[in-house]
Every structure is written in structure tokens, then in C-alpha cells.
Amino acid sequence: MPETAVGAEPGTGDVAAPPPPARRRTALLTGGVLAVAAATVAGLLVAHGSGGRHEAATADGLPHTSVEVTPAGCGRGWSRPEGGRQVFDLHNTSSTAAEVDLTDPRTGAVYGEVEGLAPGTVRPLRVTLGNGTYAFKCLPDDADAVTGPTVRITGAKVRSGPAAVPVTQQDLIPPTLAYQKWIQARTVELERKTDALRDAVDRGDLAAARAAWLPAHLVYERMGAAYGTFGDADGQIDGTTAGLSGGVHDKDFTGFHRVEYGLWHGESASALRGPADRLAAAVHALRAGWPDQRMDPADVGLRAHEILENTVQFELTGRTDYGSGTNLATARANLDGTRVLLGYLRPLLSTRDSGLPGLDSWLDRTQRLLDSFRHGRSWTPLTRLTRTRRETVDADLGELVERLADVAALTDVRRTA
């Protein structure tokens, strides 16, 4: 895994994209307090052995301490602890790659971490430390964790940056199971509303079908965190023309968007009966098979971030509009889905995420903004927004995506032993 930080400041290390999950998934954005981008520390000097503080000044103006990473000498080199903003230059002198955590040895809370530190390499960990006790924990690949000596800081004039106790797989099982039950109830609602859409098409009432399309589609969009578990059903229910050589006329273009295209592009009821029937069949199969599915608890925090990340990439760009002009309604449903998942994760986040109140405020703000585009049963299309309103929507959703990156980082299952 790449280099990340829990309480570290921007510029701590590298964050590589996670493997692309199912559906229209993208790499986890960097840029939050917890998921941070890499920075080059100009003037980096490496003090071998027990060196400690660097004598030479560094270009970043911060004090640097060289810290050894090895099973026999984890944390060696931090001999003169001081508070404040500083950089630890972690030097892996062993023959094995390792993860390194800066921890509170009493609680296990992590202030910063570097992952995938290769043998013979140096990486910086930038943190702000106040009064307290600290210890480096070295976790070599294929070996037990080793905790270095405890260091105490007194007389600091600043408070420490945020720290969080690592989340375990066991911690995530209860919210995951509760969310799975919520999804089960939504599949019943989805089936009922999709059947209403299909029935309207079957009887040739396309006006009723257009009225029924959005309510059914929004139920599915609220189920965002489960897409990775839906497997092939997701493409059958909510697929787009991406990757299809025939575009909207491709035989493999199916699901809600295929029906949407026909309803808003003048297709006849007879032409739409097949797509509507296939959509309903896929939804029925999803409901019938869901009790046998198991979501991966390790993924739920990442999904909380990805729902709105995909909203920004696909809904706010209009890439998933096939005629109904309801991207903003979909964005609002995605926001609902994010709130639901955060509700199940809240017991874990409340003691770990100091930014949770701010996240809640941004969720409320964005909800009010999106609600302003609803007019009864209709929604303002993206193409009719003024430039100022479009920029506001983009900015608010973008801010939420960054804040939700913290949730993804905090709920990432970390090795502790």
C-alpha cells in the first residue's frame, strides 16, 4: 500500500489509487486531512545511525529528525523530542518493506503513517505534535509489529494534530450488516416502482411511463454503496453506453438509461416493451438474489466517498443524461444515499473524525442547494443553470467529496500487530 497519513499534514506522502471497484468508479481523491498528496522535501538530509535532528537547514524551514525503521531499532534517532510542526525522515535500514505509524502508545491512536516504505529508502512524515506521549510502531511485511521507545513531549505551545484509533474489520461488521438490511428493503421498493414503469409501457401510456421513470430510478441511485456487490446486475439495471460501439442503438444498452432514451426520444411503446421488460426482470433478480450477497466491510467507508465522487464525475457533467434532464435529481438521491451510509458509520466516526460536524453542515448546505432545483415533480436540467449556479453546484459537491475522503481514510482497515 502507498504512503498515507492519519493526523499528518498535507505533503506527507503518496496516495495511490485503489483498485477500481464495480460500476463507474474512480480513484480515491486526495486532498483531505487524512488522504494526502506527496511532496518532495527539498534539502532532505539523512542522518544514519542515531543522528537525530539535522544540523543543516531544510528548504521547508521545519526541523527534521531522522528515524530508523528496523525491527531491532524501531524509532531510534528520536532522542530530543520537541513539540510543534516538524518532519520525521523515516529511513528503512532493514531488508524488508514496512509500514510505520506514529502512535499514542496508551490508546493506540495514530497521528501519522507511512505505508510501503521500501528497504533502503527514506520518506518524510510531517506532523504537528503537542504535549503527550508518542512512539513509532514499525510493521514489517510478514513479521510482527515492533513498538519503539515511548517519547514524552512537555512544554509545547501547540496542540497535536488529529489522531484516530485504527478501525478493525470487526468494527465494520455491524454497520455493514445494518446497511445490507436497508438495501434489502430498498430492493422491494425498487421492484414495485420499476414494475409500475414497465406496466405503463406495456399498456402504451408513455406519459405515465415518463412520470414513473424518475421515482424508480432514484430508488436505485440511493443504493449507491452497494453497487460493488451488485456485480453484473448494476450494468443491466443502470448501465450507460460507455464502451458500446453501437451507442444508444447497441443491443447491450439496457436498463434505466435505455428506457430513458426511448421515452424522451420519441420511441414507440412497442419498441420500449422489450427494454422495460428486461429492466424489470433484472430488478426482480436483484431482489431475489440480494439475501445471498455479502458486502465487504472493508469497503463501506470508501463507498461513502465514492457515491458523491461519481456524482461529480458523471451527473454534474451530464454524461448520464439520456433525455430526461434529471441529473440534479440523481445528485440529490446520491446525497441521500451518502447520508444513509454515514448514519450507520457514525458510531465509529464520532470518536475519530473531528471534522464530522463540518461534514454534516456541508451535507445540509448541499441538500438545500439541490432542493432549490426541484419544482414539484420536475427538476431544472443542467443545461438551464446559469454559469454561477453551475459553479456553485460543482464547488459544493467538490467540497463534500474532499471531506468524505477523510471518512474513507478513517475507516480504512489498518494493520495493528
Give the pLDDT score at 41: 25
Q: How far apart are CA 244 and CA 250, in angstroms?
A: 6
Own/partner long-range contacts of 50-58 (Cβ < 8 Å, ≥24 apart): 50/76, 50/77, 50/79, 51/77, 52/77, 52/78, 52/79, 52/80, 53/80, 54/89, 58/87
pLDDT at 30 over 80: no
Reported as a single tens digit per residue, the pLDDT across 111-140 is 999 999 999 999 999 999 999 999 999 999
pLDDT at 19 over 50: no
Own/partner long-range contacts of 65-73 (Cβ < 8 Å, ≥24 apart): 65/89, 66/91, 66/122, 67/91, 67/136, 68/93, 69/93, 69/94, 69/98, 69/100, 69/117, 69/136, 69/138, 70/94, 70/138, 71/138, 71/140, 71/143, 71/146, 73/148
Give the pLDDT score at 417: 86
Give the pLDDT score at 58: 65
Largest CA distance in the chain: 83
pLDDT at 152 over 80: yes
Give the pLDDT score at 416: 85
What band does 147 get if pLDDT is binned at 50, 70 and 90?
Answer: very high
What number of other Cβ atoms are within 10 A of residue 146's Cβ? 18
What band does 226 get if pLDDT is binned at 50, 70 and 90?
Answer: confident
Give the pLDDT score at 278: 98
pLDDT at 218 over 80: yes
Choose the most confident range, by mean pLDDT, from 158-172, 260-274, 286-300: 260-274
Average pLDDT for the chain: 87
Q: Across residues 195-218, what is the average pLDDT?
A: 98
Give the pLDDT score at 225: 84
Q: Across residues 180-201, what is the average pLDDT?
A: 97
Give the pLDDT score at 17: 33
Percentage above 90 pLDDT, the chain? 81
Reported as a single tens digit per residue, the pLDDT across 351-407 is 999 999 999 999 999 999 999 999 999 999 999 999 999 999 999 999 999 999 999
pLDDT at 163 over 80: yes
Give the pLDDT score at 231: 86
- Domains of the chain in sequence order: 1-165 (2.60.40), 169-410 (1.20.1420.20)
Reported as a single tens digit per residue, the pLDDT across 39-64 is 322 222 233 333 344 444 467 899 99
pLDDT at 206 over 60: yes
Give the pLDDT score at 236: 95
Q: Across residues 267-271, what is the average pLDDT?
A: 98
State the Cα torsion 129-135-140-143 to the nearest 10°.
-150
